[in-house]
């Protein structure tokens, strides 16, 4: 990346967000029905390169079943409401109707009042299995050691270890709390881990044996990391950097292809297109699904960072609904803002620019604009 001088003795890299770039048509076009959006990771195959984010506004056992049916890999957060409450529906209802100015404090109270119940983990995994799709759950790096084995024993097929920033080189005075390499090796299921946002961090995560890495900074449409922490991860650059780490690791490992999954800032079908164009194999999506009438959020969206007990870094956002999960994924759409028929839009973008599968599409030309 290009680097500029902020002042004598301090340089900065220039980094680009999805808003800064766009995909450019090339000289060929193609029929949308001859385009494949198929995505495979490990033994699993999906009709779309989309994961539903482990957020309580997005994935419940019920929405996971519907999302799977629609071609999406839905990931349940086993540290959220579904493992804290035997019946979280009244809590979800309450959160959806919280007044704006009390939302964060109430989220802190509602999540803080009930600790994660390991027995509920097993129960929820069972419900996911009954739902019929690939069973995937997410744990935080802090609690992976304690919670993941139970989740796997209950039938989890894909484990996601997801934190704001997960590094394979965590420095700790009292011993490394999670040796990722050993941990992943010992598990019987493929692991997706992240987020990371740089070439180096990604390369180290890939060497832990992960099947995929999340790129981003953990937050979603509702995060406020820049204001709170001063940290910003412009996603176009982050995805491109990690995609390059994937290529280099592929060579270094003599053939292990680690999937790059954009996690954050994918808030419309246009963003999904851009994430893939920057080199992502798939994207983890939150807010887009929270706008479904049949999602747990029902138009209201929040992430784990919003209920951090002492340092919340996200908000509960009232986004409104745009249709069913089926309409959001495959249409028909009745809006023009990239909030529905996102797979149709991806297909159209690929066809319009002349690409037939996602791997090819990663090579598409990108433009940036001064505005």
Whether residue 332 is preceded by a cis peptide bond, meaning omega within 30 degrees of 0, is yes
Q: How far is the CB of 290 from a second copy (least distance, A)?
A: 17
Stretch touching a second copy by CB under 8 A, among 51-59, 206-214, 253-261, 277-285: 277-285
Find the binder of a second copy among 26, 94, 182, 253 (CB under 8 A).
Answer: 26
The yes or no reply on residue 354 touching a second copy (CB under 8 A) is: yes
Count the alpha carbons within 13 Å of 215 in the hemisphere toward its beta carbon: 36
Distance (Å, whole) CA 107 – CA 310: 12
Stretch touching a second copy by CB under 8 A, among 25-33, 48-56, 91-99, 291-299: 25-33
Q: What are phi and psi of 370, to 5 degrees?
A: -65, -20
The yes or no reply on residue 99 touching a second copy (CB under 8 A) is: no
192: tokens are 């997706």
Find the binder of a second copy among 6, 90, 99, 255 (CB under 8 A).
Answer: 6
**By rule CB under 8 A, what string of x and - marks binding of each residue 161-200 to a second copy?**
---xxxxxxxxxxx--x------------------xxxxx
The yes or no reply on residue 94 touching a second copy (CB under 8 A) is: no
- The residues near 274 (Cβ < 8 Å, ≥ 6 apart) are 18, 21, 22, 23, 236, 366
Q: How far is the CB of 325 from a second copy (least distance, A)?
A: 16
Q: How far is the CB of 281 from a second copy (least distance, A)?
A: 14
Distance (Å, whole) CA 332 – CA 177: 47
DSSP for 101-141 reads: GGHHHHHHHHHHHS---HHHHHHHHHHHHHHTS--EEEE-H
CB-nearer residue toward a second copy: 7 or 255? 7
Using the 8-state DSSP alphabet, how is residue 362 labeled?
Answer: T
Stretch touching a second copy by CB under 8 A, among 28-36, 52-60, 257-265, 283-291: 28-36
**By rule CB under 8 A, what string of x and - marks binding of each residue 218-257 to a second copy?**
------x-xxxxxxxxx-xxxxxx-xx--x----------
- The residues near 174 (Cβ < 8 Å, ≥ 6 apart) are none
Find the binder of a second copy among 156, 265, 269, 295 (CB under 8 A).
Answer: 269
Distance (Å, whole) CA 118 – CA 122: 7
CB-nearer residue toward a second copy: 135 or 180? 180
């Amino acid at each position: 990346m290009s680097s500029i001088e902020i002042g004598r003795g301090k340089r900065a890299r220039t980094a680009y967000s999805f808003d800064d770039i766009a995909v450019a048509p090339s000289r060929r076009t193609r029929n949308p029905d001859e385009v494949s959006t198929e995505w495979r990771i490990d033994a699993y195959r999906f009709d779309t390169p989309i994961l539903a984010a482990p957020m309580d506004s997005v994935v419940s056992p019920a929405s996971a079943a519907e999302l799977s049916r629609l071609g999406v890999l839905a990931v349940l957060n086993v540290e959220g409401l579904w493992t804290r409450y035997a019946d979280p529906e009244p809590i979800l209802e309450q959160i959806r109707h919280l007044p704006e100015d009390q939302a964060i404090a109430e989220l802190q109270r509602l999540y803080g009042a009930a600790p994660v119940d390991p027995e509920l983990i097993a129960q929820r995994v069972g419900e996911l299995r009954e739902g019929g799709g690939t069973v995937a759950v997410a744990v935080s790096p802090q609690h992976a050691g304690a919670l993941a084995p139970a989740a796997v024993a209950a039938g989890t097929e894909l484990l996601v270890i997801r934190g704001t920033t997960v590094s394979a080189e965590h420095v700790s005075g009292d011993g490394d709390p999670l040796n990722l390499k050993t941990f992943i090796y010992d598990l019987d299921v493929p692991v997706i881990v992240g987020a990371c946002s740089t070439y180096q961090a990604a390369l180290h995560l890939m060497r832990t044996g992960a099947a995929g890495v999340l790129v981003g900074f953990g937050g979603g449409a509702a995060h406020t990391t820049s204001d709170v922490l001063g940290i910003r991860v412009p996603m176009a650059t982050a995805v491109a950097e990690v995609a390059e780490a994937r290529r280099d690791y592929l060579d270094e490992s003599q053939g292990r292809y680690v999937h790059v999954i954009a996690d954050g800032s994918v808030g419309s079908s246009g963003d999904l297109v851009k994430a893939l164009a920057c080199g992502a194999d798939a994207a983890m999506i939150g807010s887009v699904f929270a706008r479904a009438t049949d999602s747990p959020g029902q138009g209201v969206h929040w992430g784990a960072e919003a209920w951090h007990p002492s340092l919340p870094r996200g908000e509960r956002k009232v986004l409104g609904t745009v249709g069913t999960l089926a309409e959001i994924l495959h249409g028909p759409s009745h809006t023009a803002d990239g909030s529905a028929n996102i797979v149709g839009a991806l297909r159209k973008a690929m066809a319009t620019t002349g690409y037939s599968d996602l791997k090819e599409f990663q090579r598409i030309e990108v433009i940036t604009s001064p505005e």
